[in-house]
Structure 1
Amino acid sequence: MTVEITRLASGLTVVTENMPHLESVALGVWIKSGSRNETEDEHGIAHLLEHMAFKGTSRRSARDIAEEIENVGGELNAATSTETTSYYARVLKDHVPLAVDILADILTESEFDEEELRREKHVILQEIGAANDTPDDVIFDRFSEVAYRDQTLGRPILGTPETVKSFTPNQIRNYLSRNYTTDRMFVVAAGAVDHDAFVKQVETRFAKLPTKPSAQPVLDVARYVGGEVREVRDLMDAQVLIGFEGKAYHMRDFYCSQLLANILGGGMSSRLFQEVRENRGLCYSVYAFHWGFSDTGIFGIHAATGADDLPKLVPVILDELRKCSETVHQQEIDRARAQIRAQLLMGQESPAARAGQIARQMMLYGRPIPNDEMMERLAGLTTERLTDLAGRLFFDTVPTLSAVGPIEQLAPLAEITAALSSPGIETKKAAG
């Protein structure tokens, strides 16, 4: 399998990877723009635009879009994140021209009809309501709001009922013309695709894309703040999320942070799963994660437990953080590398996952990252690097605490911070 890249005269980048054993193609358009690129009065508009793109063009009604792709057994969808937006399709190889045509149509000819906009606003208001009723969603939204207080990175992607209700077709068009330009867009396909033919189709159908933004795209510099937010709710489980400032994609410790998250809470053999769930039975779910952004990152630990186990759970988690700053075993590093390698290779067996992976690497690094190079970066990480990073992550930054549910017995943030500021002393006392 070989990745081929063509940059069109318009500035649009086209990337393919041929997977000759397949009969299908996953293809899409990835835009280096998301909720972080919204102005104050545009909160939620990136997500609304993603919805409205499917609601009718000058050539197709919303029903036409759905029926044409499904008439050939294909699928069409989209997603909005903080820094990217994607529109993608999965079709049999003979129907790639149709998928390209539809994707180009919704991105260059959408009409943003007033009546369709009214209906879609109502749909998104229901989506916001559903998210507010889901503790797993609430705790992460609140967490981001506190970690990046009063910043676009800390705002929920969906927006608020007030902002969503206020949007007009012209506001959507202004956001579109400012952010959906060829220098920020990547058209990627993986599967049974011929590169040259695909490039010609894209060049023809996406010719109407603007090459320059109508105004300078918005992107405020992230400032990690930290702090806490608690919301008492009548739930079965108490949801707790403890986090720290992580590393951006381009920082030296990014891959080290990914490996540390895997060792601490990346699977059934991880430290948190073994100690918190298997040895002590304190919760059903516990894991660690590291999210990288263009200029910052977040390292977090999420757990859900009963109210009565909450006073025991947090000290155990803090103690595991301390232990990571003292000792990491080579066997743990080897196992985490093997897990990451397996995830990487297994993901490449799916054309949809592979197309998304290529698109992300193009947006972040300007090129696809070969598997060998990825593993080389991980191979250079030592036990000393990991313990040093753990010490700096967990004990040198202000923590962020988000909690939802029956959390009356959760320790004050000052107590948790004190334990983290004195590794091996306060934490041991709390764990005892």
Structure 2
Amino acid sequence: MRSSLLRNPTVRHYAVAATAPSAACSATPECKVLGNKVTVAAYDNNSPIAQVSIVFRAGSRNETYDTQGIAHHLRIAAGLGTSVASAFAITRNIQQRGGNLITTLDRESIAYTLQITRNNLEDALQYLECAATKQVFKPWEVQDQLPRLKYELGSVSDTVWVIELLHKAAYRSGLGYSLFCPEHRVGTINSEGLLHFVNTWCTAPRCAVVGTGVSLAELSALGSNLSIESTDKPNEATKYHGDEIRQETSASLTNVALAVEGVSLKNEKEALACAILQRTSSGATRVKWGSSPTSLHKQLSSVAGSEPFGASTFNASYTDSGLFGVVLCSTPDTIGSLTKETAKWLKSLKVSENEIARGKNILKTEILDAADNVVCLLESLQQQALLKGQVSSPISIANAVDKISASDVKAVADKLAKGRLSLASIGNLKTVPYLDELK
């Protein structure tokens, strides 16, 4: 039978159904500073999974000689009992809603991140707030984390350790303090020390609330209600020294990290130019079963001959300094000649126009590809909001890379080539040259 004339216009047919919201390509990041000085940044990309992070500008660089390892302890203490919820309550309530609570640490920040479906976000945010801002660090719970701490220390590879030693050689203190607790400090960190570190460095002016798949209004409500101190203690500037650390072991392979002082995040143009320079010399292959076309890899291949080796350039930029260098891994008989050749390359840093164009394309591809990875996207927003106080979309960052000229990259390369070397090595060091032999 025919439908009523009055009912006809109210029927929604497939042909006129509303189109589904577009993906993240149409979203733009938003950022603002609240009245309590907390920075809030949101990227509402209509994702069914919401990610919310409470990030503090507090990392291993904020330790002192007597408190080394406290940032590592703080990371593994995430989710322990708080003043309003026990560890069991936090774990149980987040798990029952299908969520994850993740804590990440670097030299300048610590981030507490909740990943959960959007319909369960409101109920779970209280437990994220508890874990990030209401810690009490009960002595028995802190003590119970020591087996995990020892396990993590025992699982760190030599490649990671050599980077930690390189920072120690380059900076000595501040940025030189490791992300991992020194062995002689295991078991010496107590509740009072953890509380003092949190109350000193995890404050509102040093805090950012960042999220993807969530609106700015929701994050603003969370940020406004955080019960944290309003004081602000500035970081002490870290001085680059340029030194060497050697650690002899019985490992069959030797790892060496060699670097010069890089550029800081204060100058965004130089930071992007340095990032491009790193991509021009990266040893990573871009085609399966292919080989690296960089000049560095070709120089090292001619020295190594048939001996196996690994080489990768790295670029680490911080708020007041940076490191640019190469990590090497090879047999004890070959690593010495590879180290000398790498030092020659670092002291010249000559790049061609074609290499720079290739580096720009690689960097833009990595930026846009990371935008499709929700974890990488959130990490980028965290660092921008926390260290810059503003956020940019991946497309705008890629456009900024396009504006960097070849002369900008060459100017940064000339600046780095004049820098003082830092050296760290682990393994059989019979052929590894000392730093004064590389000058």
TM-score, L = length of structure 2 = 0.85
Number of the residue aligned with 2:23: none
Number of the residue aligned with 1:259: 276
Q: For 1:127 and 1:66, how far apart are their aligned partners in 2?
A: 21
Question: 1:76 touches 1:88 (CA, 8 Å); kept in 2?
Answer: yes
Question: 1:90 touches 1:352 (CA, 8 Å); kept in 2?
Answer: no
Q: For 2:64 and 2:331, how far apart are their aligned partners in 1?
A: 40
Would the alpha carbon gap of residues 270 and 64 (structure 1) be closer, same or farther in structure 2, given more than 3 Å must change?
farther
Please tell me whether residue 235 in structure 1 is matched to residue 257 in structure 2. Answer: no
Would the alpha carbon gap of residues 413 and 168 (structure 1) be closer, same or farther in structure 2, given more than 3 Å must change?
closer
Number of the residue aligned with 2:388: 365
Question: 1:229 touches 1:403 (CA, 8 Å); kept in 2?
Answer: yes
Question: 1:248 touches 1:297 (CA, 8 Å); kept in 2?
Answer: yes
Question: 2:30 touches 2:391 (CA, 8 Å); kept in 1?
Answer: no
Cα shift at 1:77 = 1.0
Question: 2:31 touches 2:40 (CA, 8 Å); kept in 1?
Answer: yes
Please tell me whether residue 12 in structure 1 is matched to residue 38 in structure 2. Answer: yes
The Cα offsets for residues 267-317 of structure 1, whole Å up to 9 and x where unpaired, read as: 324333454359945544211111111111111100101122224323433
Please tell me whether residue 271 in structure 1 is matched to residue 295 in structure 2. Answer: yes
Number of the residue aligned with 1:428: none
Question: 1:139 touches 1:402 (CA, 8 Å); kept in 2?
Answer: yes
Question: 1:267 touches 1:273 (CA, 8 Å); kept in 2?
Answer: no
Q: Which stretch shifts more, 271-280 or 364-373?
A: 271-280
Please tell me whether residue 301 in structure 1 is matched to residue 329 in structure 2. Answer: no
Please tell me whether residue 79 in structure 1 is matched to residue 104 in structure 2. Answer: yes
Matched residue of 1:265: which SS? coil
Number of the residue aligned with 1:430: none
Higher helix share: 1
Root-mean-square deviation (CA), in Å?
2.4
The counterpart of 2:168, out of the listed 116, 121, 145, is 145
Please tell me whether residue 405 in structure 1 is matched to residue 427 in structure 2. Answer: yes
Question: 2:42 touches 2:216 (CA, 8 Å); kept in 1?
Answer: yes
What are the within-5 Å matches in structure 2 for residues 32-71 of structure 1? 32-71=57-96
Question: 1:43 touches 1:159 (CA, 8 Å); kept in 2?
Answer: yes
Would the alpha carbon gap of residues 198 and 364 (structure 1) be closer, same or farther in structure 2, given more than 3 Å must change?
closer
What are the within-5 Å matches in structure 2 for residues 81-96 of structure 1? 81-96=106-121
What are the within-5 Å matches in structure 2 for residues 147-162 of structure 1? 147-149=170-172, 151-162=173-184
Q: For 2:323 and 2:277, how far apart are their aligned partners in 1?
A: 13
Matched residue of 1:78: which SS? strand
The counterpart of 2:228, out of the listed 209, 212, 215, is 209
Cα shift at 1:391 = 3.2
Q: Which stretch shifts more, 232-241 or 379-388?
A: 379-388
Structure 2 unmatched runs, 5+: 1-26, 286-292
Question: 1:28 touches 1:188 (CA, 8 Å); kept in 2?
Answer: yes
Number of the residue aligned with 1:224: 240
Q: For 2:159 and 2:339, how far apart are their aligned partners in 1?
A: 18
Question: 2:39 touches 2:207 (CA, 8 Å); kept in 1?
Answer: yes
Q: For 1:212 and 1:392, how far apart are their aligned partners in 2?
A: 37
The one-letter amino acid paired with 2:404 is: L
The one-letter amino acid paired with 2:34 is: L
Q: For 1:70 and 1:153, how far apart are their aligned partners in 2?
A: 36
Number of the residue aligned with 2:438: 416
Q: For 1:254 and 1:90, how far apart are their aligned partners in 2?
A: 31
Would the alpha carbon gap of residues 413 and 95 (structure 1) be closer, same or farther in structure 2, given more than 3 Å must change?
same
Cα shift at 1:114 = 1.3
Cα shift at 1:201 = 4.4
Structure 1 unmatched runs, 5+: 418-432
The counterpart of 1:386, out of the listed 406, 409, 416, is 409
The one-letter amino acid paired with 1:362 is: A
Number of the residue aligned with 1:330: 353
The one-letter amino acid paired with 1:272 is: L
Question: 1:45 touches 1:164 (CA, 8 Å); kept in 2?
Answer: no
Q: For 1:57 and 1:240, how far apart are their aligned partners in 2?
A: 42
Q: Which stretch shifts more, 194-203 or 356-365?
A: 194-203
The counterpart of 1:124, out of the listed 141, 149, 156, is 149
Cα shift at 1:362 = 1.4
Cα shift at 1:202 = 4.5
Question: 2:32 touches 2:39 (CA, 8 Å); kept in 1?
Answer: yes
Number of the residue aligned with 1:177: 199
Question: 1:266 touches 1:289 (CA, 8 Å); kept in 2?
Answer: no
The one-letter amino acid paired with 2:224 is: E
Sequence identity percentage? 20
For the pair shown, the structure with the greater C-alpha radius of gyration is 2
Cα shift at 1:322 = 5.6
Question: 1:247 touches 1:257 (CA, 8 Å); kept in 2?
Answer: yes
Would the alpha carbon gap of residues 141 and 323 (structure 1) be closer, same or farther in structure 2, given more than 3 Å must change?
closer
TM-score, L = length of structure 1 = 0.86
Please tell me whether residue 346 in structure 1 is matched to residue 344 in structure 2. Answer: no
Cα shift at 1:244 = 0.5
Q: For 2:63 and 2:245, how far apart are their aligned partners in 1?
A: 24
Aligned residues: 404
The one-letter amino acid paired with 1:7 is: V
Q: For 1:194 and 1:280, how far apart are their aligned partners in 2?
A: 56
Q: For 1:317 and 1:304, how far apart are their aligned partners in 2?
A: 12
Q: For 1:135 and 1:256, how far apart are their aligned partners in 2?
A: 29
Question: 1:276 touches 1:282 (CA, 8 Å); kept in 2?
Answer: no
Q: For 2:411 and 2:222, how far apart are their aligned partners in 1?
A: 51
